[in-house]
Structure 1
């Protein structure tokens, strides 16, 4: 399972979902969807909790975090029309004013120096991914293993 700075890709998940549909295991397919959403929701909640000790702007941006789902995947979304500054709150800003201060009250830029689980970008979402990611991946894979053993008993 390759993991990058923005999410995890479970190799074979789409084929697995199709196999469940072919054998008529709609209940199990729904369980896979629920497992996907559950991980995204737990990650969003962990990031909101991580933002509690940060600035008012970052806490407000973190409140815009939400888990979403489609037929094939779940995701964590950040920002909205009411919170257009959410990415600035998460990653900071590079642009400085004439006085040398960071523009518009954003913290310093922490956007593209990803160096694995130990360090990297972001102030609340990405640190939550680094902190909770391995635990959530293990939990997710345990759930998928259980579903697979029910769908394809040996």
Structure 2
């Protein structure tokens, strides 16, 4: 399972869930779906905790984080119609106002390292992924291994 940045790919997961469907193992499919959701939910909680120590805008933006639930992947969505500034709160802004302040009260840009930020992108979600990701991936893979063993004992 190679990981690249904040993206983790479990090779064969889609094929595994299709095989479960063919085998009539709907209960195991539901457990895989729940395992996907659990990872996203734990990352969301970690990001909201990290944002709690930041600005009011970042705390508010972090409250818009929500985990998604599918059989083949998990994701965390950010922002809403009521919080359109969520991505700016996570990544900051490059544009300065006439008075030299960062636009709309955002912190300085942390979207990529091209502007001198070497710590990685983001203020709360992406740092949480970097900190918690390896542990959560291991927990997830352990659960998938257990589910595979139960579904296809040999």
Give the TM-score band, short-chain normalised.
Answer: over 0.9
Helix, strand or coil at the partner of 1:29: helix
**In 1, Cα distance between equivalents of 2:37 and 2:49:** 18
Does the CA-based 8 Å contact 2:32-2:71 persist in structure 1?
no
The alignment's TM-score, normalised by the length of structure 2, stands at: 0.93
- Taking the TM superposition and a 5 Å limit, the aligned residue runs for 1:117-128 are 119-128=119-128
Partner of 1:144: 144
| Residue 131 to residue 6, structure 1, CA distance change in 2 (3 Å) | closer
Displacement of 1:39: 0.5
**In 2, Cα distance between equivalents of 1:85 and 1:2:** 32
For structure 2, which runs of at least 5 residues remain unmatched after alignment?
none
Helix, strand or coil at the partner of 2:113: coil
Partner of 2:11: 11
1:76 matches 2:76: yes
**In 2, Cα distance between equivalents of 1:119 and 1:143:** 31
**In 2, Cα distance between equivalents of 1:66 and 1:7:** 17
**In 1, Cα distance between equivalents of 2:16 and 2:110:** 37
**In 1, Cα distance between equivalents of 2:79 and 2:2:** 26
Partner of 1:63: 63
Root-mean-square deviation (CA, aligned residues, Å) is 1.5
Does the CA-based 8 Å contact 2:6-2:130 persist in structure 1?
no
The alignment's TM-score, normalised by the length of structure 1, stands at: 0.93
1:135 matches 2:135: yes
Displacement of 1:6: 4.2
**In 2, Cα distance between equivalents of 1:113 and 1:16:** 37
**In 1, Cα distance between equivalents of 2:5 and 2:88:** 17
For structure 1, which runs of at least 5 residues remain unmatched after alignment?
none
Displacement of 1:52: 0.6
- Count of matched residue positions in the alignment of Structure 1 and Structure 2: 151
Displacement of 1:2: 2.6
